[in-house]
Amino acid sequence: MNVALHSVAITGAYNTEQARDLGRSTRDVLNEAALGAIADAGLTPADIDAVVATPSAQLVFDLGLGTTRTMSSGPDIEGILEAAGLLLTGEATAVLLAAAKASSFDRSSVAPWVRPANEFVVSHGLITPAEFAFMARRHMIEHGTTAEQMATVAAQIRNNGHANPEAIYHGKGPFTVDDILASPMVADPFHLLECATTSQGGCAVVMTLADRSADAANAPIWLLGGGSDRIGPSYQTSPSWDRVGFHGDDTVAGYIGRRAAQRAFGQAGINPADVDVCEFYDPFSFEIIRQFEAFGFCGDGEGGEFVMDGRIALSGEFPITTDGGLMSYSHAGSFPQQLQRVIRGVDQLRGTCAANQVDGAEIAIASNGGSGALYTEVLLMGSAPAT
Amino acid sequence: MLHPNVTGIPVPRPTGESAPYWEGCREGELRFRRCASCDLSVFEPRPICPRCHGTDLPWAVSTGDGVVYSWSVVWRPQMPAFDVPYAPAIVRLDDGFDMVTAIVGCEPDEIHDGQRVSVEFHDVDDAITLPFFSLS
């Protein structure tokens, strides 16, 4: 298949240390992440001619990059797809995506970025766990999805983090399904151990076209396909499972990301069965079940059963979120943990994971967002270019 | 018993677009906009109908009756000012729109899918009144 995206590679990837409290400034962590990814790509700062970061202008200024193309999207999968566009139109030859957050906050409340400020939700005590709970509840009602099925997802992801020396919750397990269900309820049906943690850290990625990838210190990881779906603003309107638009496709909000996944698999010329590693975004346990359905790994309503038979284990057919994800590896604000899904996919395909390496992984899927936020982004990557 | 959280909570900041809605709450009316061209009910106030793209969206008053579409019971509050548990919910109004609110006046385990609920209003301060829903 002749898809322009197939000539784009991720050639650099870097995570800073992640911690509950790094004792550093966000700016300092962002700069480390950026320089780390540039070095990992075998490039120098002089090679970077486009930047998407949090915030882009400050990073260009701090690193003294001179005149640089910046992007208004964020350093996530959507940013990666738009960065590919810059490379393919010739507007840039090496794009840096970087994200970091290291600001502390009062822990008597939930993290500031999970408190929606909108006038129609703020006064009813909405928090992102409740917004996502609305979606999970509908799935439980319509398909009989159980607390045990959701807890099975959380136990797997947290055990992945338990085994990962780079995860902030390394060594805190192992966790059984009963442990998950015995943890305090945050927003029914989500217990504490089914929710993302909050932490600090940074990360960055460098992308180039195929003809520049020979500079990289590590083998390039190739873009096979991607897509990004949004149906409305996050945390401002009711996240109703059956919300649809009036023009265009009829995908319900509960299956946001389906169109993106179909586009990604179509570009890649592969099927979900071909995927070796699922670096799914895991803000809450249910979202993994939902993504298996939305992305076509199983039928609608079958996700709860799908995760129950060892399929999502590291040795299973579809290992999920192998670094421990947002629940256990790190969740530092709005963007780092989104880009980190991609970086974990890169590490798996390079075969360089410090722990939980999936033997022989050749194709990885990464995702960002979620139903409660009314958007989902999907990226398929390969250790070899698409054929 | 779930009760309305109205003390010390973050208050909504009405915009020019939403001011008539909040004035309605103050007066004990649940207001929404209804497209004059295609009759679509539009809740969060917007200047355009998402279905027919008409821009004449006069305000209407809801009966305030509907069903529980989805809900959560929150034990880890957004801010300490919220007493727990509280039960944020999506209510599907008979008038044809969904809204985020909270269920009050019952025990958490009394909330079920499709349960009939009705709006009730509680003052937060001198300017803001919030819509909650209780079992019909």
- B interface mutation test: which of A119, A139, A145, A252 has the most B CBs within 10 A? A119
pLDDT in tens, A27-61: 999 999 999 999 999 999 999 999 999 899 999 99
- Partner B contacted by A303 (CB < 8 A): no
Residue B75 within a domain: yes
- pLDDT (0 to 100) of residue A216: 74
Within 8 A of B128 by CB-CB distance, chain A residues are 123
Residue B8 within a domain: no
Contact A239 B102 (CB under 8 A): no
Size of interface A-B (CB pairs under 8 A): 121
CA B64 to chain centre: 9
Q: How confident is the model at residue A104 (pLDDT cuts 50, 70, 90)?
A: low
Q: Average the pLDDT over A332-342 and give the result.
A: 95
> With 70 as the cut, is the pLDDT of residue A94 above it?
yes
What is the rounded CA–CA span in Å between residue A271 and residue B77? 42
The pair of three-digit structure tokens given for residue A337, joined into one six-digit string: 């943990």
- Partner B contacted by A209 (CB < 8 A): no
Q: Average the pLDDT over A217-243 and give the result.
A: 94
Q: What is the mean pLDDT of chain A?
A: 94
Q: How confident is the model at residue A217 (pLDDT cuts 50, 70, 90)?
A: confident
- pLDDT (0 to 100) of residue A110: 63
Where in chain A are the domains? 4-101
Indicate the number of domains in chain B.
Answer: 1
Q: How far is A196 from chain B (nearest CA, A)?
A: 14
Q: Which of A110-114, A162-166, A326-330, B112-116 has the lowest mean pLDDT?
A: A110-114
Q: How far is B52 from chain A (nearest CA, A)?
A: 9
Query: How many contiguous H segments (helices) and E segments (strands) does chain A have?
Result: 11, 11
Residue B4 within a domain: no
- Partner B contacted by A77 (CB < 8 A): no
The CA distances from residue A279 to A12, A50, A284, A314, B110, in Å, are 18, 26, 14, 12, 38
The angle subtended at Cα A191 by Cα A153 and Cα B83, nearest 5°, is 160
Of chain A, the percentage scoring pLDDT greater than 70 comes to 96
> Which of A22, A10, A33 shows the shortest CA–CA distance to A99?
A33
CA A101 to chain centre: 16
Interface of A with B in 307-366 (CB under 8 A): none
> Strand pairing partners for A376?
A229, A369
Range of the domain at B53: 19-135
Please determine, for the modelled complex, whether the ipTM score is greater than 0.90: yes
- Whether the CB-CB separation of B98 and B117 falls below 8 Å is answered with no
The H or E element spanning position A51 is: strand A50-53
Fold held by A4-101: Peroxisomal Thiolase; Chain A, domain 1 (3.40.47)
pLDDT in tens, A253-286: 999 999 999 999 999 999 999 999 999 999 999 9
Within 8 A of A243 by CB-CB distance, chain B residues are 98
- Whether the CB-CB separation of A325 and A240 falls below 8 Å is answered with no
- pLDDT (0 to 100) of residue A20: 93
Of chain A, the percentage scoring pLDDT greater than 90 comes to 88
Q: How confident is the model at residue A1 (pLDDT cuts 50, 70, 90)?
A: low
Residue B56 within a domain: yes
- pLDDT (0 to 100) of residue A117: 73
Q: Tell the residue number behind the tokens 């995927």, with chain if given.
A: A275
Q: How far is A76 from chain B (nearest CA, A)?
A: 26
pLDDT in tens, A302-332: 999 999 989 999 999 999 999 999 999 999 9
Q: Tell the residue number behind the tokens 């109205």, with chain if given.
A: B6
Q: How confident is the model at residue A214 (pLDDT cuts 50, 70, 90)?
A: confident
Q: Average the pLDDT over A143-153 and give the result.
A: 98
- Ordered mean pLDDT values, 10 residues apiece, chain B (136 residues): 94 91 97 98 94 97 98 92 96 98 98 98 96 97
The CA distances from residue A38 to A63, B78, B126, in Å, are 11, 39, 56
What is the rounded CA–CA span in Å between residue B92 and residue B10? 24
Q: Would you say how long chain B is, in residues?
A: 136
- pLDDT (0 to 100) of residue A115: 63
- pLDDT (0 to 100) of residue A108: 59
Q: How confident is the model at residue A3 (pLDDT cuts 50, 70, 90)?
A: confident
Nearest to A115 among B11, B78, B98 (CB): B78
Q: How far is B80 from chain A (nearest CA, A)?
A: 6
DSSP state of A19: B
Q: Tell the residue number behind the tokens 């109004």, with chain if given.
A: B93
Residue B37 within a domain: yes
Nearest CA in chain A to B104: A124
CA A301 to chain centre: 23
> Strand pairing partners for B77?
none
What is the rounded CA–CA span in Å between residue A205 and residue A34? 8
> Which of A116, A98, A112, A58 shows the shortest CA–CA distance to A233?
A116
- pLDDT (0 to 100) of residue A107: 61
